[in-house]
A and B are shown apart, each in its own frame.
Chain A
Amino acid sequence: MTLSVEVNDLTVRYRDTVAVDGMTLKLDGGKIYGLLGRNGSGKTSVLSVVAAFRRATGGAVLVDGAPPFENAALTRQICFVRDRVDAQDSDCVRKVLRIARALRPNWDEEYAQALIERFDLPLKKRISALSRGAKSALSVTIGLAARAPLTIFDESYLGMDAPSRYAFYDEVLSDYMAHPRTIIVSTHLIEEVGSLFEEVVIIDKGRLVAHDETEALRGRGVAVTGPADAVEAFTAGRTVLGDQRLGGTRSTTVYGQLTDEERTRARAAGLDLGPVGLQDLFVHLTASHGAEAHR
């Protein structure tokens, strides 16, 4: 079972601050989505409304065609995993898992045990005694073992060290393949996790900046690599997203697609062309001037 998400003209305000500003977005069920945005861009606010953690100030959110807020049939099918565990500091890990097991209809205890072992979670320790990485590991263990048809990881794994994060990415992918569902991953670590996403949503200042399949998004720009002089000549006058040099070799990422004639000319000049990195594109689209230019 997978759940679709429809966000229609969503607005979320906190007193005078507009966190989400008339956002419209449709996510089909059964895919892994990357939700990218700078700090304060409104990612958590959107996800909180989708997960029924808060009410929208304006507009509407539909999950599987119905409003999720106080909808018991839906809320049990949505697992919103935040960067902190939704439990008391005085609770021990075992208790937190016990409550999740009791309340999550699709909970897979065998898988939970495997994750506990993989992330080396200390069952008897209190939440307050856990390292930041262990708290994140506990959060993602709940998110994965809950097997909720709509699972949302809101920067929940950022506290984990690199090996644990890669273990998490492996688990997300393999468990998604075995048990397809809708997964939304909100993150800053774009390059690290980018290959996981089937579609990417980029938001900035509470507004939708881009929503496309990952490959299509990466095709919005080109990484031009080759002799420094040739690269400089070819990219002159274009919008540069990123630039790297190593000896006489230069790699410049430019925004915008190339025509067939331009591609032929580049290859003739000894240049390699590749897709743009998600992170470069993200930085460009969410830079203060970029967000306005490409909306």
Chain B
Amino acid sequence: MTTSTASIVSRSQLRSSLPMIGGYWAIMLPVYVTIVSVVVAVGDTDVSIWATSGGSAPKYFLLAVGVMLTTAFLPTYVGNGVTRRDFAYGASLYILAVAGVYAVVMTLGYVFEYTLYTSADLMGNLNDPYPVQSAGDALTQLVAELCVGIAYLCCGWVMGSCFYRFGTLWGIVLIPVTILPAAVTETGFDSLWLGYAIDNWLGIERPPLPVGVLMAAVSIVVAWFANFALIRAVAIKKVSG
């Protein structure tokens, strides 16, 4: 493997997508800070706003970021002499970085909301126990969010690769299959909403952290190799008009 090429790809990707990812969080964070502040000011809620809505939208954003990897960026890099394999390695490093930022922001969001809810004496009204109440909880949440973030990015990547390789019709048909790794990962962490719904439907509690991590790891590895199988010999199409 040409480590330097993969590194160049990941750095180039990060630099290219920084405005998009930074812009997303620059909009999202003030919106949720405002919503949570209003809730705290009103003094009446039975849920974590960050968990129920703040934590879901970014996952779908990550899905979209993943979708673009093959459809938008693979031709650019292959067109500049990068092999599909090195692109896959570089894009994987990029995924780790983007998921890492997501995990940190999400965890800090819980810490911030917990502090506000505690100061406003809202914790007693919650239907479910607040997910982050200690440093240990924060670390657990960080691991869970990192796994979920990687899983969503990988699912988006596979989804985009299916569209790129098989065309629009089969791309749409295969969406339920491509989303499976994210569903399994969410189930392992009882994440909102997909994992939470599946766990409730199956009547199971949130699995222990090592089990969740194992489920996520298997899902991510399967998604990564499925994606690699899709792109390793794919013909490069023209992108710009």
Q: Which residues of A contact B (CB under 8 A)?
A: 48, 52-55, 69-72, 75-80, 82, 84-89, 91, 95, 98-100, 102-104, 127-128, 135, 148
Contacts and interface: CB of A to CB of B under 8 A. Distances in A.
A54 B232 CA distance: 10
A76 B4 CA distance: 13
Contacts, number: 90
Nearest to A69: B233
A53 B150 CA distance: 28
B186 interface: no
Nearest to A138: B240
A102 B12 contact: yes
Given A72-B2, A86-B76, A88-B76, A78 B81 contact: yes
Given A48-B236, A88-B239, 5 more contacts: A52-B83, A55-B233, A69-B233, A75-B83, A102-B11
Interface string B224-236: 0000000011011
Interface in B182-228: none
Contacts of B8: 102-103
Contacts of A48: 235-236
Interface in B69-124: 72, 75-86
Contacts of A87: 76, 79, 239-240
Given A88-B72, A103-B8, A76 B239 contact: no
Most chain B CB atoms below 10 A, which of A55, A87, A89, A128: A87
A85 B240 contact: yes
A127 B235 CA distance: 23
A75 B77 CA distance: 11
B66 to A, nearest CB: 16
A257 B235 CA distance: 43
A103 B5 contact: yes
Given A86-B75, A148-B81, A54 B235 contact: yes
B158 to A, nearest CB: 20
Residue among B80, B83, B241 having the largest count of chain A Cβ atoms under 10 Å? B80
A104 B81 contact: yes
A86 B240 contact: yes
A86 B235 CA distance: 13
A78 B239 CA distance: 19
B82 A103 contact: yes
B235 A55 contact: yes
A156 to B, nearest CB: 12
A102 B13 CA distance: 12
Given A127-B240, A128-B241, A135-B240, A104 B235 contact: no
B94 to A, nearest CB: 14
Given A72-B86, A88-B76, A88-B240, A103 B235 contact: no
A72 to B, nearest CB: 5
Given A70-B232, A103-B5, A103-B8, A86 B239 contact: yes
Nearest to A80: B79
B77 A103 contact: yes
A98 B12 CA distance: 9
B76 A75 contact: no
B12 A99 contact: yes
Given A72-B2, A72-B86, A103-B8, A86 B79 contact: yes
Contacts of A80: 79
Interface string B39-69: 0000000000000000000000000000000
B162 to A, nearest CB: 18
Given A54-B236, A70-B85, A70-B232, A100 B241 contact: no
A72 B241 contact: no
A70 B240 contact: no
Contacts of B16: 91, 95, 99
Contacts of A127: 240-241
Contacts of B239: 84, 86-89
A234 B236 CA distance: 52
Nearest to A76: B81
